[in-house]
């Protein structure tokens, strides 16, 4: 290529940059150049595509981003606190409040990145609820109601609960069973939530009653629709930790609930990025990007539908992330530009 031709191409690129406001920087000039980051993601996949969007943004800032490590929330917070990992996108308040409290010297929440987040609570299949007029968690005090959902023959209803490693939501579910005097009527089944909830979907398809803790949207509640397949259970006597009770209010116009407003007994979730404090202090561009990043609940729901339809491989999730970025290009590019400016 001749020298004149190179000059012409450079002038064209520079002119485009001026017209569009886009930063044209060599990779070595980007704020993340020469820095490797190790992210984490939780052991449920309903927001892995959000993690991927953030990771792509970090790459645009020049960082070398390792494949995210997949683990349960307690391990994520411990690893971020130690500095082994730098950030994780899908952390949830109030559900992870205890983990943030335990690691508050080393881990900070950034966001919210999705607010409002998901609706969470107890659900049963609509067919059984309508037939036996089951509307409240307290209805399970009736041994006949509990027996409808008994899978192992002990007379207690078997409820799919939060994974044991989800300490915040697990504690709320356990406390409801205890405080409402349901220990002899409800058995909280805890294991790998994704597997247990998928089993519940299978049992529903076979015509069996199901009872579970869940949230909307996730693969279960996008497969079995609130109001059509599932109904929300209400709680007469709402009992949450003191800091949550201060924020609690019933949900208005909730699809799949018999009452309006609906007393679910749970706070909605709000999503944050968990970040190592020391790393944050040393990476102003990344923090500016994190501060700006946001997504609507509907974006998550639509991507979850694609996963349910078979687009659930890693390459599918990456494609979904890149499509979201392209569909939100102006906003995403502005986040990157602001992050680069923050580092200068």
Backbone angles phi, psi at 201, to 5 degrees: -60, -40
| DSSP single-letter state for residue 116 | S
Confidence of residue 82 (pLDDT cuts 50, 70, 90): very high
**The two three-digit tokens of residue 43, written as one number:** 């052991």
Q: Is the pLDDT of residue 5 over 90?
A: no
Q: List Cα–Cα distances, 209 to 123, 159, 231, 240, in angstroms.
A: 11, 11, 12, 27
Is 11 among the domain residues? no
Q: Does residue 134 share a domain with residue 84?
A: no
Give the integer Cα–Cα distance in Å for 293 and 85: 20
Q: Does residue 67 share a domain with residue 185?
A: no
Give the integer Cα–Cα distance in Å for 336 and 221: 34
Where are the alpha helices (H) located in 91-182, listed in sequence order?
97-102, 126-132, 143-148, 167-179
Q: Does residue 51 share a domain with residue 25?
A: yes
Is 308 among the domain residues? yes
Q: Write the burial class of residue 290 (CB in 10 Å: 0-12 exposed, 13-18 middle, 19+ buried).
A: buried
| Domain residue limits at 188 | 119-245
What stretches of 67-200 adopt beta strand conformation (E)? 69-71, 87-93, 107-114, 119-125, 157-160, 186-189
Q: Does residue 292 share a domain with residue 188?
A: no
Write the CATH number for 45. Answer: 3.40.190.10
Write the Ramachandran bin of 198: left for phi over 0, alpha for psi from -120 to 50, otherwise beta.
alpha
Is 258 among the domain residues? no
Q: Does residue 231 share a domain with residue 189?
A: yes
Q: Does residue 157 share a domain with residue 107?
A: no
| Cβ atoms 199, 224 nearer than 8 A | no
Is 10 among the domain residues? no
Is 82 among the domain residues? yes
At 122, is the secondary structure helix, strand, or coil?
strand
Model confidence pLDDT, tens digit, residues 149-164: 999 999 999 999 998 8
Q: Is the pLDDT of residue 20 over 60?
A: no
Mean pLDDT of 299-328: 94
Q: Does residue 126 share a domain with residue 110?
A: no
| DSSP single-letter state for residue 186 | E
Q: Has this prediction a pTM greater than 0.95?
A: no
Q: Round the average pLDDT of the chain to a whole number and report it.
A: 91
Backbone angles phi, psi at 20, to 5 degrees: -95, -10
Q: Is the pLDDT of residue 215 over 80?
A: yes
Domain boundary among 245, 261, 281: 245
Q: Does residue 106 share a domain with residue 26?
A: yes
Q: What is the tally of structural domains in the chain?
A: 2
Q: Is the pLDDT of residue 25 over 70?
A: no
Is 222 among the domain residues? yes
At 65, is the secondary structure helix, strand, or coil?
strand
Give the integer Cα–Cα distance in Å for 231 and 234: 10
| Cβ atoms 180, 173 nearer than 8 A | no
Q: Does residue 329 share a domain with residue 215?
A: no
Q: Does residue 210 share a domain with residue 127?
A: yes
**76: CB partners within 8 A, 6+ apart:** 40, 42, 85, 88, 91, 274
Domain boundary among 245, 260, 288: 245
Domain boundary among 193, 211, 245: 245
Write the CATH number for 241. Answer: 3.40.190.100
Q: What is the pLDDT of residue 16?
A: 43
| DSSP single-letter state for residue 85 | S
Give DSSP secondary structure letters for 15-55: HHHHHHT-----GGGSTTTT-EE-EEEESS-TTHHHHHHHH
Q: Does residue 277 share a domain with residue 235?
A: no
Mean pLDDT of 101-121: 93
Is 64 among the domain residues? yes
Q: Is the pLDDT of residue 11 over 60?
A: no
Is 264 among the domain residues? no
Q: Does residue 125 share a domain with residue 237?
A: yes
């Amino acid at each position: 290529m001749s020298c004149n031709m190179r000059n012409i191409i450079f002038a064209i690129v520079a002119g485009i940059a001026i017209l569009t406001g886009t930063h044209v920087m060599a990779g070595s000039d980007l704020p993340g150049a020469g820095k490797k980051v190790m992210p984490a993601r939780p052991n449920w996949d309903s927001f892995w595509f959000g993690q991927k969007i953030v990771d792509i943004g970090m790459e645009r800032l020049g960082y070398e981003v390792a494949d995210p490590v997949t683990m349960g929330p307690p391990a994520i917070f411990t690893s971020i606190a130690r500095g082994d990992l730098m950030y994780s996108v899908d952390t949830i308040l109030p559900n992870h409040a205890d983990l943030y409290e335990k690691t508050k010297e080393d881990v900070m929440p950034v966001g919210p990145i999705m607010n409002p987040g998901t609706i969470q609570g107890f659900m049963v299949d609509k067919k059984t609820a309508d037939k036996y007029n089951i509307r409240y968690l307290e209805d399970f005090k009736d041994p006949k109601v509990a027996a409808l959902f008994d899978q192992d023959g002990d007379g207690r209803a078997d409820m799919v609960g939060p994974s044991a490693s989800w300490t915040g939501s697990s504690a709320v579910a356990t406390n409801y069973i205890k405080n409402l005097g349901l220990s002899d009527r409800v058995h909280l089944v805890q294991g790998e939530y994704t597997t247990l909830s998928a089993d519940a979907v299978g049992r529903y398809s076979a015509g069996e009653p199901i009872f579970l803790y869940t949230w909307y949207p996730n693969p279960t509640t996008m497969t079995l629709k609130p109001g059509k397949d599932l109904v929300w259970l209400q709680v007469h006597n709402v009992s949450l930790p003191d800091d949550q009770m201060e924020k609690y209010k019933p949900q208005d116009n909730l699809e799949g609930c018999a009452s309006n407003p609906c007393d679910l007994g749970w706070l909605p979730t709000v999503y944050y990025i968990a970040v190592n404090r020391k790393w944050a202090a040393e990476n102003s561009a990344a923090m500016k990007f994190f501060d700006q990043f946001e997504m609507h609940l509907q974006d998550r729901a639509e991507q979850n539908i694609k996963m349910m339809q078979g687009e659930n491989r890693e390459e599918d999730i990456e494609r979904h992330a890149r499509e979201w970025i392209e569909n939100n290009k102006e906003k995403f590019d502005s986040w990157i530009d602001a992050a680069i400016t923050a580092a200068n």
